[in-house]
Each structure stands twice: as C-alpha cells, then as structure tokens.
Amino acid sequence: MEYVNPLGEEKVYKLLIKFSLPAIVGMMVNAIYNIVDRIYIGNSSSLGANGIAGITISFPIMIILMALGILFGVGGATLFSMKLGEKKIEEAETALGNAFVMLLLAGFLFMILGQITLKPILIAFGASNTVLPYAISYMRVIFFGAVFQVVSMGLNNFMRADGNPKLAMLTMFLGAGTNIVLDPIFIYVFNMGMEGAALATIISQGFSFIWVVSYFLFALQVASSILNAVLNNNLYLYGGDIAVSGMGVVNSLQTLLIMPVIGMNQGVQPIISFNFGAK
C-alpha cells in the first residue's frame, strides 16, 4: 500500500500539535548537550569555573556550527516538502541529496578551518590566557565531530518533513542520552578533563548522525554567534574569567527558553511547505 504523507491529509491544527510538540521537545533535549557538559565540568575539581568559562567562550562557535545545519536543513527541507506536495518525488529526492552533500561539505570545511584557526578565533571571542587552554582542549575535539552535528541537525528537518516528527525527536534523545552517560565516564573515571567532555559530545552526535542517515538510506544563527563573541570579550574586560563563567550559566537557562520557539518553527515549516506544494 502506498505511503501517504499526513501533511497533505490531516487538519492543520492537528498537524501543528503533532509536528511542533516533538520539535520543541527535541530542541530542548538538544540544548542539554551544552548544559550537561557545564554541569559535569563545573563539578570537576580540576576544571571548575575555568572549564565553564572555556565552554562559554566556545559557545559562539557552536552556534555557527548549528547555523550551518539549519541553513541547509531548513532550506532543503522546505523545497523537499514542496516537491512532495506536488507529487514530484524524484525532485524531492534530488533536494534531499543536494542538501546532504552540502551538509557534509560544510561540516568538513568547518572542521578543517576550525583546526587551522582555532587559537586566534578563541582569542577573538574573548578567551583570556587562563581560559584559553581549556577552550582549546574542548574545541579541538569538537571540531573533529563537526560533520556529525551539521548533518544530524540538517537531516533532522528532512525526517520531520517526511512525516516522522516523533522519529526526528528520538534522534535528539539518542544523542543527548548518550552524552549524559558518557560525560561522567570520560571526565571523572578516565580523568580526560575538557577533552573528555568534548569526546562524549561528538560520540553522541555520531550516534545521531548514524541514526538519521540510516533513516534516509532506508526510507538567523550567525548573528547570535557574533553577539556572543562581543559579549564574551566585554565580560572578560570588565569582570574577568568569573564573569565569563557566570554568563555560561545564564546562556544555559536562556537556551532552554529559546528552544521551544525554534521547535515551533520547525513544526510549522513542513506543514506550510507541503501544502503550498500541493496547492
């Protein structure tokens, strides 16, 4: 029996609930990555406030990384939904394939450029001499997993556009759950410090990457980053490293407030795009 995408069949208000709620939950769970790292690092006697400050300095870079996934993911998924609505399956698959290639290229390019320019970027984003080693240790590992985060974030939008919002949500649960388990093992048991927290994160994102890619085998962020970079520099100038650490805690809470809005947007996008294509 032919699969019928619910985007063109069910009532809009039901679709909005069905698609937005899992997207909101998924984005909230995705925010846990950074929060969990801060919790475990902050409670480590060898890392503490300096470790939290290192992650806070790295946050604008993480925002750019997420923005790349959203750039090709939301844009590609919108075209994907429109073509599905028009019953042009081959063109929809082409949009998916092109977006996948762009996500891969963006992730690899970000990884290479990040490794080459890591130290000057972190200094530009406000890292002091004290915090810089912590930030470098964390981001050096994170950059190696850039392709995992970009692709899983981007293709998650396609999974939702294909009529599987709950499965898209589970992708984020898989990554965040793995991170929660691995963080204390690498930080406390193996005593790997900042590198351990970063390694737990990229392994978790690697699982999400495999999950979301397997599914398809079988079936305004940048501005925020610049703002964070300017903020970190001024925090260090007027309040020192402890002020940067304090802002890290505020960022964690702020992220929890912003993610439901992003989730709502993600839930609306496939509904509008599919029905626009279906006229």
- Torsion angles phi and psi, residue 193, rounded to 5: 60, -135
Angstrom distance (rounded) from CA 79 to CA 277? 9
User: What is the per-residue pLDDT across 17-36, written as a single tens digit (0 to 9) for each?
Assistant: 888 888 787 777 777 767 88
User: What is the per-residue pLDDT across 174-219, written as a single tens digit (0 to 9) for each?
Assistant: 888 889 889 999 999 999 999 999 999 999 999 899 888 888 877 6
Answer yes or no: is pLDDT of 141 > 70: yes
Tell me the average pLDDT across 52-73. Answer: 89
Q: Which two tokens stand for residue 33?
A: 């990555």
Q: Which residues contact 178 (CB under 8 A, 6 or more apart)?
A: 200, 203, 204, 207
Answer yes or no: is pLDDT of 265 > 80: no
Residue 142's pLDDT is what? 94
Residue 135's pLDDT is what? 95
53-67, 73-87, 126-140, 258-272: range with highest mean pLDDT: 126-140
Closest CA to 135 of 209, 240, 244: 244
pLDDT category at 1 given cuts 50, 70, 90 is very low
Q: Contact 185/197 with Cβ under 8 angstroms?
A: no
User: What is the per-residue pLDDT across 105-123, written as a single tens digit (0 to 9) for each?
Assistant: 999 999 999 999 999 999 9
Average predicted confidence (pLDDT) for the chain: 84
pLDDT category at 136 given cuts 50, 70, 90 is very high
Answer yes or no: is pLDDT of 169 > 80: yes
Query: Domains of the chain: which residue ranges?
Result: 11-277
pTM listed for this prediction: 0.75
Residue of higher predicted confidence among 235 and 102: 102
